[in-house]
Amino acid sequence: MQKASDVLRVEGLAKRFESGGGIDAVSISVAPGSITGFIGINGAGKSTTLRCILGLITPDAGRISLFGATATAQARRRIGFLPEERGLFPRDRARDAIAFHARLKGLSQRSAYASADCLLERIGLGSRLRDRIGDLSKGNAQRVQILCALAHAPDLLLLDEPFSGLDPVAQSEVVSLFAEFRAGGGAILFSTHAMAAAQNLCDRVVILANGRTVFEGELAEAAAASPHGAVVVTSDEAGLLTAALAVGGEARPMSSAIGEATRWRVLLPPSVTHPVLMRALAEHAVPIIAFEPIKADLESAFWQLAAPAKERQAA
Ligand SMILES: Nc1ncnc2c1ncn2[C@@H]1O[C@H](COP(=O)(O)OP(=O)(O)OP(=O)(O)O)[C@@H](O)[C@H]1O
C-alpha cells in the first residue's frame, strides 16, 4: 500500500527499448526505515526500473516520487546507488574511491575521507584502506563499491544485486550493514536473485514478472502466497502427470531436464496431504529421485507469483 510518507513511490512505470525489451507497469512503494526486496527473473526489468528512478533513463510513462514530491535532480542526490555494472578503477585506492563518490554528492574533502575511513573500519577493511581496488579480492572490491553508495549518508539506497560475488561471510556482513542503515531511519530497495538473503533482510517485497509488478506487500503476505504441494524430481514425466492428476493435483516443470530427470512442482488441493501424493506416485511406479514439500517462504511464493511464464518456457 502506498502512503504519503513513502520515500519512494513508483506508479505505472513503463519504458520500451527498440530491442522490444523493457517494462510495462511497475509500481513500488518504499517507506522510511524499511528494506524492500525487488525480485524477478533475468530480464524482468529490475535494472531498467532502478535506472528510471535514478533519472539515467527517461520512462515512456508513469510517475516517480521521491521523499513526497515528484523526483528532481536535487532529491536524487539523497540516493545512494550500487549499479549492476561495478565500475571502480582498479588503480584507485579504496578510501579514495569512496571519498570520491561522497565528494560527487557534495561532501567536503575532509568529511568525505572521514566517512570513507569510518565505513571501511566498520566493514573490517580498516587495514586495507590504502590498498588499490585491483589488489583486493572480488568480494572486498564489491564491499568497497557498496560503501561508495553509502558514503554521503543517503536517505535511500538503491542497490542492484548487492550480494552477487559475495561469499556467505561477506553477505552476512553486508546484511548487518544494511540492517544498521535501516535502524538509522534509512530505506533500501535492492534487486536480487538471492532469495535467502531477501527472506532474512526484507520487510517488504516487490515481485516483477515480464516488466510488471505482480506482487507488492509484506514478506509474510508473500510467503502466504506459497502453494501447498511438493517439488518432485523424476525421469517419468507421464507417470508423474498421471499420479498428480489422480489426487486432484497439477504438475508443472520447474526446469529443463537434468540428464534424464526433471524437477516438477506438484500443486495439491489443501485436503490432499504429502503422504497421499507419495502413495499415488508409488502406485504408478514413478521413480522418485527427490521429494520435498513446498515451504511457505519467499522462494515458493516467487515461483507461484512470477514463474508461470518461465514454466511455460521450460515446458
Ligand atoms: N539499454 C537497453 N537497450 C535495449 N534493451 C534493453 C536495455 N536495457 C534493458 N533492456 C531489455 O529490457 C529488458 C529488461 O532488462 P533489465 O536489465 O531491466 O532486467 P533485469 O530484471 O535487471 O535482469 P537481470 O536480473 O538479468 O539483471 C530485457 O529484455 C533487456 O534485454
Compute the mean pLDDT over every residue in the chain, rounded to the nearest whole number. Answer: 89
DSSP state of 287: -
Domain of 268, CATH number, reads 3.30.70
| 177 and 234 inside one domain | no
**Residue tagged 527472506 (cell numbers):** 199
pLDDT at 300: 86
In a domain, 310, yes or no: no
Q: Do 143 and 174 form a contact (C-beta atoms < 8 A)? A: yes
CA-nearest of 242, 240, 284 to 263 is 240
Cα end-to-end distance, the chain, whole Å: 35
Atom of ligand 1 nearest to the CA of 45: 18
| 84 and 108 inside one domain | yes
Nearest-angstrom CA–CA distance, 215 and 213: 6
Specify the number of domains making up the chain. Answer: 2
| 175 and 245 inside one domain | no
Q: How far is CA 24 from the centre of its chain?
A: 19
Q: H-helix or E-strand containing 114?
A: helix 109-122
| 211 and 266 inside one domain | no
| 56 and 176 inside one domain | yes
Domain of 36, CATH number, reads 3.40.50.300
In a domain, 2, yes or no: no
Q: Which amino acid is at 109?
A: Q
| 208 and 276 inside one domain | no
Domain extent for 169: 8-222
In a domain, 303, yes or no: no
| 150 and 36 inside one domain | yes
In a domain, 306, yes or no: no
In a domain, 301, yes or no: no
pLDDT at 313: 45
Nearest-CA residue for atom 26 of ligand 1 = 42
pLDDT at 315: 36
- CA distances 268 to 93, 154, 232, 272, 300, Å, are 56, 46, 12, 6, 14
| 152 and 273 inside one domain | no
Phi, psi of 81 (to 5 degrees): -125, 130
Lowest mean per-residue pLDDT among 80-84, 276-280, 303-307: 303-307
In a domain, 251, yes or no: yes
Phi, psi of 314 (to 5 degrees): -70, -25
Nearest-CA residue for atom 2 of ligand 1 = 17
pLDDT in tens, 5-44: 899 999 999 999 998 899 999 999 999 999 999 999 888 9
Atom of ligand 1 nearest to the CA of 44: 21
Residue 237 pLDDT greater than 70, yes or no: yes
Q: Mark 1-19 as b/e (b = at least 16 C-beta within 10 Å).
A: ebeeebbbbbbebbbeeee
| 197 and 244 inside one domain | no
Distance 45 CA to ligand 1 centre (A): 6
Distance 207 CA to ligand 1 centre (A): 16
| 131 and 242 inside one domain | no
How would residue 314 be classed by pLDDT, with cut points 50, 70 and 90?
A: very low
- Domain end, chosen from 205, 222, 239, is at 222
Evaluate: CB of 44 within 6 angstroms of ligand 1: yes
In a domain, 307, yes or no: no
How would residue 308 be classed by pLDDT, with cut points 50, 70 and 90?
A: low
| 236 and 197 inside one domain | no
| 188 and 258 inside one domain | no
